[in-house]
Chain A
Amino acid sequence: MGFNVLIVDDSAAMRRIIKKTIQVSGFDVDNFYEAGNGKEALDVLENNWVDVVLTDINMPEMDGMTLIKKIRENDVFGGVPIVVISTEARDKKVKESLELGASGYIKKPFKPEEIKNILIELMGEEYVRTDDEYKDFGETDF
């Protein structure tokens, strides 16, 4: 049995890249959910079980910071781990997101290893398949 991932980014292309990165890293994922902004992400969380959220910051309608705050205020899904994946890597932004309750922060462009490592840290190594077909992307940046 795997886990459920919610990817939040206003770029569908970036959502595809993050999804591919997780798949090729060999994680056993049951469901990938996607949202184009914070509002859509809250809808997904209200209607589905999600084990980890990967979110951008700079998005229309509801940005990532507001999303983190709203998630942490929720009694049902408030404890879900949240990883920020953003081009915004200024100390103030990173600190602000961690203070709001983000579990980790990855700067774009990112290396596939960064996502893999943080998911192992948050979800545990038991979710990583060891089959030969699941190999690392190597040093490629995304």
Chain B
Amino acid sequence: MSEQTTNIKTLEKLIFEILSDMFFVFPEDEEPEMPEEVYEGVISINGNTSMYLHFFIAPELAKVMAENFIGEEMISEEDILETVKEFVNMVAGNYIGIIDPEGKRELGLPKVKRVKTSEIKRLTEIHKYQVESCFLGFWVEE
């Protein structure tokens, strides 16, 4: 198995663990349908070489994640953005602990925005999943 495949599998495992443990949403073994818009979260891992982890979450899924995470039913757009940011931060924070246990690389700050799916670059390279009947994807930019 190539290093890239191993990293993707590691990320996939972490994403699923964090989704179920923290946000109480679960992946399904179905082909996901791409929504018109998604929340895109990006975080950098910087060292000798930099990489960027991109996450794409359907608005309906992000809302459920925020409701479950914060534990309230009245969720604002700000709450959703912060929940996605925290999700990105947790996945990346745990991922850097696996790929760089010696602490040579530094984690950047997560950024989140809502984008039209048609505006996403490298759409074909996104790893796509269905979670709670909604779309979730990620892409590693190296």
Contacts and interface: CB of A to CB of B under 8 A. Distances in A.
**For this complex, into which size category does the number of interface residues on chain B fall?**
20 to 34
Contacts of B66: 13
A135 interface: no
Given A20-B71, A90-B97, A93-B103, A11 B90 contact: no
A86 interface: yes
A142 B22 contact: yes
Nearest to A142: B22
Interface residues of A, number: 23
Contacts of B109: 10, 58-60
Contacts, number: 62
A89 interface: yes
A91 B90 contact: no
B93 A17 contact: no
Contacts of B97: 88-90
B101 A108 contact: no
A17 B65 CA distance: 14
A92 to B, nearest CB: 3
A120 B92 CA distance: 30
A111 B119 CA distance: 38
Nearest to B70: A13
B101 A91 contact: yes
A11 B82 contact: yes
Nearest to A93: B103
A89 B97 CA distance: 7
B94 interface: yes
B90 A87 contact: yes
Contacts of A142: 22
Contacts of B71: 17, 20
Interface of A: 10-14, 16-17, 20, 58-60, 86-93, 108-109, 141-142
